Amino acid sequence: MSVSVQDKLFLDRFKVDEVSHLRIIDNKKCIDECRDQACLYLCPANVYRVEKDCITVNYEGCLECGSCRIGCAKLNIEWRFPKGGYGVSHKFG
Amino acid sequence: MKETFDVAIVGAGPAGVSAAYILAGAGKKVIVLERGEHPGSKNVSGGVLYGHDLAQIIPDYFEKGCPIERNIVESRLWYLAKDSGFSVSYRDRAFDAERKYNAFTVSRAKFDRWYADQARRKGALIVPSTVVTDLIRDNAGAVTGVITQREDGEVRAKVTLLADGINSPLAARTGFRPEPKPEQVALAVKEVINLPIEVISERFGISEDEGVTIEILGEVTEGMDGVAFIYTNHSSLSLGIGANLADFATYKRKPYELIENLKQHPMVAPLISGGKSMEYIAHWLAEGGYDAIPKLFGDGYLIAGDSAMLFNTLHREGNNLAMASGKMAAETILEALKLRDYSKSGLKSYGDRLSRSFIMKDLKKYRRLGNYLYRNKDIFTQLSGVASFSAREIITVNGISKKDKERLILEKICRDMSIPRIVRLIWQGWRATR
């Protein structure tokens, strides 16, 4: 079953910073060395997507759970919190 | 910031605010640094809170306007196969009377904000929209404050309390707690689904301020080690599902597909029917148990709550452990401030307090449970399938003799699992919770 995570993220309130708080350290590694590409599955906000021959980081919808940081088999993701007050802001929590 | 505080607290969640409330109440100069735009705006849990540990800090929390959604009077446990399931429930008038507010649901965005306001009224300085990026250490390595993202953002303090939650890049960077391994956390997603108050009351058989919790185990996690839940809020339901993070990677499942499939289950669908999703959020749960708990204090610092991996998976208790550990940290800090000894040995009684309390006793009791569930995946698949098959056969009236039905069930068990396997699962499960 295909679910649009986009519809879910539209429900949330985000204050988006212009600068990404997530960065793939070496995208070449993702394509050449990483067989599992776990980030494509375990990210609850589908932040990581394959486009042409690289993985893009759609940080705007990040729910800040940290899963990609420790779930990446190559530990190839540089992960910071968004700047204070930025990022997702829960209405109900 | 040039002034020096008695205590700097990282994170305005249940652990940090509990400590701040007590310390500020004792007249200490306390600063709480929160990365969200207000306390609660980043915080997630299933949404069940426990009155006992909150009352240890604010005895008259109800009179002080604690934003309670519903008081839990009934707890259900579901064990589900693909299109079927068992339900066990327990309701008790005591939870409406002398044990009222044993457990209640909250909106964390509202509760945490209210809770931080109580600490603020006691005199704690709560600074939102501020990320702590590093710790300040002296030449001997003792923590003497924190560094924030703000300009001129050094905050010096005699003692620092790290209560920044389970996902802590600060921990990873400074090394006060090792980064969790994927199998030591569960990733959970949650949706808040709006429904009219009377519809919730009717569907769950409760009055306007009463609530029900449902914990769900079985095939809903699609083979992964995990749980789901439904909790009643005042005019919404919290629907969530989580599984071991390592399993998500191995099974290649997507969290948002998992929660969508959960919504389709015949036992879930009627409860949420007609509801409108209002929010979709994600968070980790500490699954590592007792053995994943880091060193909880050192020169100039202590760790409390989720940040210290204090979470009881089986009983879904986390907020109360956070509040209780925050309180114990505050009591320890008060002693240390009195003796002016902020070293590891000055803060040592924090470890003793935790060990003597229910926190460490419970986590020790269940230290094998996480591994048991992670290694015995058939609990989530074959076992629930076999159990459902058995119930279906016994209940179906179709002219087949009961003896023949027993034989059918036995054959199914032997085909899908085997009797010794089931016996071993029960035996090991019992041992894992002793």
* Residues 50-79 (A) with a CB less than 8 A from some CB of B: 63-67, 69-71, 73, 79
Please indicate whether, in this complex, the C-beta atoms of B128 and A85 are within 8 angstroms of each other: yes
Residues of chain B positioned with their CB less than 8 A from the CB of A71: 182, 245-246, 248-249
Q: Exposed, middle or buried, B180 (CB in 10 Å: 0-12/13-18/19+)?
A: buried
Give the separation between CA B204 and CA A47, rounded to whole angstroms. 36
Please report whether residue A55 resides in a domain. yes
Give B340's contacts (C-beta < 8 A, 6+ positions apart).
none
Find the helix packing angle between B14-25 and B319-339, rounded to 10°: 40
Is residue A3 scored above 80 in pLDDT?
no
A1 touches chain B (CB under 8 A): yes
- For the segment B267-322, what is each residue's pLDDT rounded down to a tens digit? 999 999 999 999 999 999 999 999 999 999 999 999 999 999 999 988 999 999 99
- For the segment B372-420, what is each residue's pLDDT rounded down to a tens digit? 999 999 999 999 999 999 999 999 999 999 999 999 999 999 999 999 9
What pLDDT shows up at residue B171? 87
| Residue B262 Cα, gap to closest chain A Cα (Å) | 12
> Which structural domain, as residue segments, surrounds residue A31?
5-9+21-80
What pLDDT shows up at residue A52? 86
Give the separation between CA B429 and CA B112, rounded to whole angstroms. 36
Q: Which of A9, A15, A67 sits opposite B245 (nearest CB)?
A: A67
Instruction: Calculate ∠ Cα B274-B278-B284, nearest 5°.
Output: 120
How many A-B residue pairs are in contact by the CB < 8 A criterion? 145
Q: In the CATH hierarchy, which fold is given to the domain comprising B183-286?
A: D-Amino Acid Oxidase; Chain A, domain 2 (3.30.9)
Is residue A79 scored above 90 in pLDDT?
yes
CB B433 within 8 A of CB B313: no
Residue of chain A whose alpha carbon sits nearest to that of B262? A1
Classify the complex by whether its ipTM is higher than 0.95, answering yes or no.
yes
Residues of chain B positioned with their CB less than 8 A from the CB of A78: none
Token pair 């994600």 is found at B282
Please indicate whether, in this complex, the C-beta atoms of B248 and A81 are within 8 angstroms of each other: no
Please indicate whether, in this complex, the C-beta atoms of A42 and B255 are within 8 angstroms of each other: yes
* CATH number of the domain enclosing A67: 3.30.70.20
The type of residue at B217 is L
Report the domain count for chain A: 1
CB B409 within 8 A of CB B389: yes
Average pLDDT over residues A31-55: 94
Residue of chain A whose alpha carbon sits nearest to that of B35? A84
Q: If pLDDT is split at 50, 70 and 90, which confidence band does A1 have? A: very low
Please indicate whether, in this complex, the C-beta atoms of A93 and B35 are within 8 angstroms of each other: no
What pLDDT shows up at residue A53? 87
Which of A50, A53, A48 is closest to A22 using CA atoms? A48
Token pair 């005019």 is found at B235
- For the segment B90-141, what is each residue's pLDDT rounded down to a tens digit? 999 999 999 999 999 999 999 999 999 999 999 999 999 999 999 999 999 9
**Which architecture characterizes domain B4-69+106-179+290-366 according to CATH?**
3-Layer(bba) Sandwich (3.50)
The radius of gyration of chain B from alpha carbons, rounded to an integer in Å, stands at 23
Please report whether residue A86 resides in a domain. no
DSSP string, B1-28: --SEEEEEEE--SHHHHHHHHHHHHTT-
A49 touches chain B (CB under 8 A): no
Residues of chain B positioned with their CB less than 8 A from the CB of A9: 280
A80 touches chain B (CB under 8 A): yes
Please indicate whether, in this complex, the C-beta atoms of B279 and A91 are within 8 angstroms of each other: yes
Please report whether residue A15 resides in a domain. no
What pLDDT shows up at residue B1? 59
Beta bridge partners of B236: B194
End-to-end CA distance of chain A: 27
| Residue A13 Cα, gap to closest chain B Cα (Å) | 9
A15 touches chain B (CB under 8 A): yes
Please indicate whether, in this complex, the C-beta atoms of B108 and A38 are within 8 angstroms of each other: no
Which of B414, B433, B421 is closest to B379 using CA atoms? B421
What pLDDT shows up at residue B96? 95
Please report whether residue A16 resides in a domain. no
Q: Exposed, middle or buried, B344 (CB in 10 Å: 0-12/13-18/19+)?
A: middle
Q: Which of B41, B42, B187 sits opposite A42 (nearest CB)?
A: B187
Is residue B324 scored above 60 in pLDDT?
yes
| B32, B33, B35: best to mutate for the A interface, most A CBs within 10 A | B35
